[in-house]
Amino acid sequence: MTLCPYGECPLNRNCLHVLAASCLVGLAAGCQQRNENGESQNPAATLQADSNNGSGNESALDTGSEAAIGWKTYEAADGSFTVFAPGQPPDVSTEKLPVWKEQRYAFKDGNVSFVIEIYSGRKGAVATNTVDDLRDSPDIVAGTLRDVTLSGMPGIEFRTQGNVGEVVHREYCSTDNSKSISIFVQKDLVTGMSEGRIQQFLDSFKLKD
């Protein structure tokens, strides 16, 4: 399994969605380059402009002492999922490539990033990768790997560590390999983020379709 220096994140993160023999550059989940055969769209500006008109439905959710000002239940504009997150995503994008369709949602709370990436219609060699391919990665912090599930999809949670912070990952893949989901939180060593809040974000993600 290859690694990618993920966009604004200075840490290398394991990616479930790449061709086994390829770097993530070009086909990467979250990398900046585009496949020349792909069609790229960015509805972020539209979603942000419509944020006061219900594009991406939001409702306040008080979950007890961990509830934070600005955190709400966010529903994707296409109704595919809900998650308890820090307000409206500042970065929402859709990208269509020959091997998949990617939907990316990036939230921020201070210097902490909360990212959801959904890959559907996975085809070809990329559709052979599963969460089991990540289990033996040397980048996983010892003792942090555990099994999780999401609407019947098997998954794993693990952590990676770098010079500027820690990344908490959840990777899911459907049993037929046609769909995979990456959810991760990048913690900043200076500002940090409570463990309860991180787990709240991860656990609150629910598929609706």
55 burial level (CB within 10 Å; 0-12, 13-18, 19+): middle
Helix (H) or strand (E) holding 162: none
Nearest Cα neighbor of 72 from 85, 53, 89 is: 85
Q: Is residue 129 part of a domain?
A: yes
Q: Is residue 26 part of a domain?
A: no
Position 88 scores a pLDDT of 74
Q: Is residue 5 part of a domain?
A: no
Q: Is residue 56 part of a domain?
A: yes
Q: Is residue 119 part of a domain?
A: yes
Please, which residues bridge with residue 95 across strands? Answer: 40, 102
Position 165 scores a pLDDT of 84
CATH number for the domain spanning 111: value is 3.40.1000
Please state the pTM of the whole predicted model. Answer: 0.71
Q: Is residue 79 part of a domain?
A: yes
Count of domains in the chain?
A: 1
Position 111 scores a pLDDT of 84
Position 68 scores a pLDDT of 63
Parallel/antiparallel/unpaired status of strands 146-150 and 112-120: unpaired
pLDDT (tens, 9 = 90+) of the chain, 209 residues, equals 322 333 333 333 334 543 222 222 222 233 333 333 333 333 332 222 233 333 344 333 334 444 567 899 999 999 999 999 998 777 999 999 999 999 999 999 888 899 999 999 999 888 888 899 999 999 999 999 999 999 999 999 999 997 778 899 999 999 999 999 999 999 876 666 788 899 999 999 999 97
Domain interval for residue 53: 42-207
Please state the φ and ψ torsions of residue 143, each to the nearest 5 degrees: 85, 0
Please state the φ and ψ torsions of residue 186, each to the nearest 5 degrees: -100, 110
Q: Is residue 14 part of a domain?
A: no
**Residue 134 has which token pair?**
């990540």
Dihedral angle of Cα 181, 83, 32, 189, to the nearest 10 degrees:
-100
Q: Is residue 160 part of a domain?
A: yes
